[in-house]
Structure 1
Amino acid sequence: MQARYMVGMAVDATGAGMYLPLSLLYFHHVTGLPVGQVGALISSAALIGLIGNPVSGVLVDRFGARTIVVGGYLVRAVGFTAYAFVHSPAPMFLAVLLVSFGDVSFSPSIQSFIAEIVQGQARDRMLAAQRSLRNAGLGLGGLIAAGVLALDADAAYLAVVLTAAVTYLLTALIMRSIPVPPGRHAPAGAKRGYRLVARNRPFLTLTLLNIPIAFGYMVLSVSLPVYVTQHLSTPASLIGVLYAINTFGIAVLQIPVTRALARYRRTRATALGAAVFCVSFVGFALLGLLPARSAVLAGVFLATALFTLGELLHGAAASALVASAAPAETRGRHLAVYQLSWAVPTALAPAVLTALLTFSPAGMWLVLALGVTASAVTLLGVEPRLPHDAVRPAPQAVTVG
């Protein structure tokens, strides 16, 4: 069962890795629109797509996580197939909007699915393996895309989007074949809506505490490239190296780090990851004060390594903590609400982080450091109010297949 799940994640990540590096370039190529207009259309569709988030939570609780996981992959497969026929702004917007609905259903449904098929510390290990495998798949997909696009032909762009569509279809078939243990999913009553989530104060606190950390996660793709090239005057080629350090580090180290953290409370591991993020952000802020170019380059690598360590400590532990803190009968709705703490910062990060960076490069890093520190401290305070099994998972777990 777990082997099939990991195969599905590998197929999914490889397809996503092929497309993600050229999402803007693809639509610019096929529509002839300026890159800025393409980006605005994609962001608009993504923001509208957020309305599908609460709907996906209800659907998970009503029909089961596996059904929504499979449905989300099928929606994206159809959307990516539609990309091949896009040649103007309106069809492009509609196709991206369709894919956005599939995207927003992924996190609450896949975390609920994992919670249904594995328990206890096995959940942490599976999430760690997933993060590791997805990073490796994204990197492999990026390399494949680079090779295909080196041909510099219209057929190359078409091949990438259609291959991504096929990978989503294959992943849907793989996920559909994974059995769900009897009794793990208990459909929730239709009248409950999101009222039970609104009454769950500790879970809502977890959701709010994730917002500063979600902004922190976005620096690698949004503000770090601008900061190191324009404010630290380092070569643009360094960006790819820093990204490789991050993805390779997570792919190789996530599983052993998660195993080492198994003896500790999930809340402590999550807070420690946020604390390491803080050290990394302070390090980035101080780089502008270094006079020697060699010291700046060494500092960039060190701060990026610390950022990666923060991800390793925080990522799998936080995901397992949240999935376990959500009541089983309304897990889909709880995780849909929690997903907003990722989706909204992801949508706002380009504007917010760019504005902060323009106002004060060092100030941006210090604001992020303050935010993640506040999250870490508050999380330790809310720990006694969280379910015991969410904080301290059972060492043994029941799985199927």
Structure 2
Amino acid sequence: MSGSRTRYLVGMAVDATGAGLYLPLSLLYFHHVTGMPIAQVGVVMTAGALFALVGNPIAGTLVDRLGARSVVVGGYVLRAVGFAAYPLVDSATTMFLAVALVAVGDGSFPPSIQALVAEIAEGTARDKLLAAQRSMRNAGLGLGGLAAGGALTIGSDAAYTGIVLATGVAYLAAAVIIGTIPLPARGRRGRAAIKGGYREVFANKPFLALALVNVPIAFGYMVLAVALPVYITQQLHAATGLVGALYAVNTIGIAVLQIPVTRMLVRYRRTRATALGALVIGASFVLFALLGAVSSATAVLLVGSFVATALFTAGELMHGATASALVSSAAPVETRGRHLSVYQFSWAIPTALAPAVLTALLSASAIGMWLVLAAGVVGSAAAMVRLEPRLPADAVRPKAVVTAAVPRPVETVMGEPVVGGPVAVETIVSARSVSVR
């Protein structure tokens, strides 16, 4: 792996470790330092978090004008400043301002980081880098969460403040690491201002369809955090500890298996791999529904829950990195930032609506919720296959960069031919005709 990609992965690991530190106490921190009720803290945090939707389109434009690396670094700095302000929060107003600042940085991250990956990796190397990123980020989130759990057992003001400041330092460290990544020529070229703004994106109907197809899958991704804990504990009446175990299966599974699974999938069309992943996720939802319909036996529920979660994880392994590579490859280079920004709304909107939508479905019918989600992701899989002919060929069928040996040109010395040794050159070949290992 090139030095740029190695440095990139180190930055992602540092970023994720910092995020993992803070995630377990996001609500608890402000409740602890301000004394506000949890419900009020939640409302203020949600209001501030909406600014992520503002940061997203701004980031898309800046990526096209300044380059992805600059926007990634700027987003990290914004978040670091926001976390540095957290210990100064003493009211709902100051809390809102600090959370909004961090949210703008959060919103700038998805389109800019996907664009950066597209600049430093091409072909199947892009799929593999995104797979390694997902693996590293899951590991980093887990490590950060463990460290936060240890600090929270102390329960003091100093422990809470230390976690928040450590998160800010991690973002600054990630900014330094990402900021020193050397870019290839294609990532350093001058960027002319592109007229038309987001009209260029909305005129790209196949890309918009790709974003719409993702919406049901994005809702499906949210079940682990939003619906599954309630379903397991209140509908299936299982022990609360089972939720943590199922979450661990998913997190560890992605950290360990994402790279080998993606290495296998780069031989195939990205559209087919993502569609298959959606189908497997749909199968996991059907199994979760069956658990609520056919049995209340503890052993059946226990085994069935782990099998369903394993299926969900397998679907996520097939879909996640490959879908990201498909989208970044389908976006035109000149307006890649804006295209990826629009696509990110297919994640951001379901993420914002999921708590309300999924809990409403769960309240109406727990089994019905799973079947609705299953129908949605299966429909997305079918739509993805139908969309395939309208997408750029090099986005659908990844290419592999391989090293080939070719002879040097024949030179002459004193009239006698001299043949040099082999020279390594990079050749782009179809991933269907080469074994990628």
Scaled by the length of structure 1, what TM-score is found?
A: 0.98
Residue deviations 1:311-349 (CA, integer Å, cap 9, x gap): 100000000000000000000000000000001111111
CA distance in 2, matches of 1:59, 1:89: 31
Contact 2:277 2:318 in 1 (8 A): yes
Contact 2:83 2:164 in 1 (8 A): yes
CA distance in 2, matches of 1:365, 1:40: 28
CA distance in 2, matches of 1:195, 1:187: 18
- Match status 1:390 vs 2:395: yes
- Tell me the secondary structure at the aligned position of residue 50 of structure 1: helix
- Tell me the secondary structure at the aligned position of residue 239 of structure 2: coil
CA distance in 1, matches of 2:190, 2:308: 45
Distance change (3 Å), C-alpha of 1:119 and 1:64? same
- Match status 1:364 vs 2:369: yes
Contact 1:72 1:105 in 2 (8 A): yes
Quick one: which amino acid aligns to residue 240 of structure 1? G
Q: Tell me the residue number matched to 2:99.
A: 96
Q: Tell me the residue number matched to 2:269.
A: 265
Q: Tell me the residue number matched to 1:239.
A: 243
- Highest Rg: 1 or 2? 2
Quick one: which amino acid aligns to residue 359 of structure 1? A
Structure with the bigger percentage of helix: 1
CA distance in 2, matches of 1:178, 1:344: 32
Q: Tell me the residue number matched to 2:381.
A: 376
- Match status 1:168 vs 2:171: yes
CA distance in 1, matches of 2:136, 2:249: 15
Contact 1:186 1:329 in 2 (8 A): no
How far apart are 1:99 and its partner, in Å?
Answer: 0.4
CA distance in 2, matches of 1:337, 1:291: 44
RMSD: 1.2
How far apart are 1:183 and its partner, in Å?
Answer: 3.1
Contact 1:59 1:68 in 2 (8 A): yes
Within-5 A mapping of 1:76-91: 76-91=79-94
- Match status 1:253 vs 2:257: yes
Quick one: which amino acid aligns to residue 311 of structure 1? E
CA distance in 2, matches of 1:310, 1:125: 17
- Match status 1:348 vs 2:364: no
- Once the two structures are overlaid, the 10-residue window that deviates more, 25-34 or 158-167, is 25-34
Higher relative contact order (CA 8 A, sep 6+): 1
How far apart are 1:55 and its partner, in Å?
Answer: 1.1
Q: Tell me the residue number matched to 1:333.
A: 338
Quick one: which amino acid aligns to residue 302 of structure 1? V
- Tell me the secondary structure at the aligned position of residue 96 of structure 2: helix
CA distance in 1, matches of 2:385, 2:291: 30
CA distance in 2, matches of 1:368, 1:186: 44
How far apart are 1:190 and its partner, in Å?
Answer: 4.0
Contact 2:276 2:381 in 1 (8 A): yes
Contact 2:119 2:186 in 1 (8 A): no
How far apart are 1:180 and its partner, in Å?
Answer: 1.2
Quick one: which amino acid aligns to residue 275 of structure 1? L
Residue deviations 1:340-384 (CA, integer Å, cap 9, x gap): 000111111111101110111011111110110110000100101
How far apart are 1:186 and its partner, in Å?
Answer: 5.3
- Tell me the secondary structure at the aligned position of residue 26 of structure 1: helix
CA distance in 2, matches of 1:30, 1:56: 32
Residue deviations 1:202-244 (CA, integer Å, cap 9, x gap): 1000100111000000000001000000000011111111111
Contact 1:27 1:33 in 2 (8 A): yes
- Match status 1:189 vs 2:193: yes
CA distance in 2, matches of 1:164, 1:179: 25
Distance change (3 Å), C-alpha of 1:112 and 1:297? same
Moved over 4 A (4+): none
Contact 2:52 2:108 in 1 (8 A): no
Scaled by the length of structure 2, what TM-score is found?
A: 0.90
Q: Tell me the residue number matched to 1:223.
A: 227
Mark the runs of 5 or more structure 1 residues left unpaired by the alignment. Answer: none
Q: Tell me the residue number matched to 1:292.
A: 297
- Match status 1:320 vs 2:325: yes
Contact 1:188 1:330 in 2 (8 A): no
- Tell me the secondary structure at the aligned position of residue 185 of structure 2: coil
Contact 1:128 1:254 in 2 (8 A): yes
Mark the runs of 5 or more structure 2 residues left unpaired by the alignment. Answer: 403-425, 428-437
CA distance in 1, matches of 2:251, 2:33: 30
Residue deviations 1:23-75 (CA, integer Å, cap 9, x gap): 01111111111111111111111223312211110000000000000000000
Contact 1:61 1:186 in 2 (8 A): no
Q: Tell me the residue number matched to 1:44.
A: 47
Contact 2:76 2:172 in 1 (8 A): yes
Q: 1:151 aligns with which of 149, 154, 179?
A: 154
How far apart are 1:266 and its partner, in Å?
Answer: 0.4
Residue deviations 1:121-162 (CA, integer Å, cap 9, x gap): 000000000000000000000000011111111100000000
- Tell me the secondary structure at the aligned position of residue 89 of structure 2: coil
| Aligned positions, number | 399
Q: Tell me the residue number matched to 2:283.
A: 279
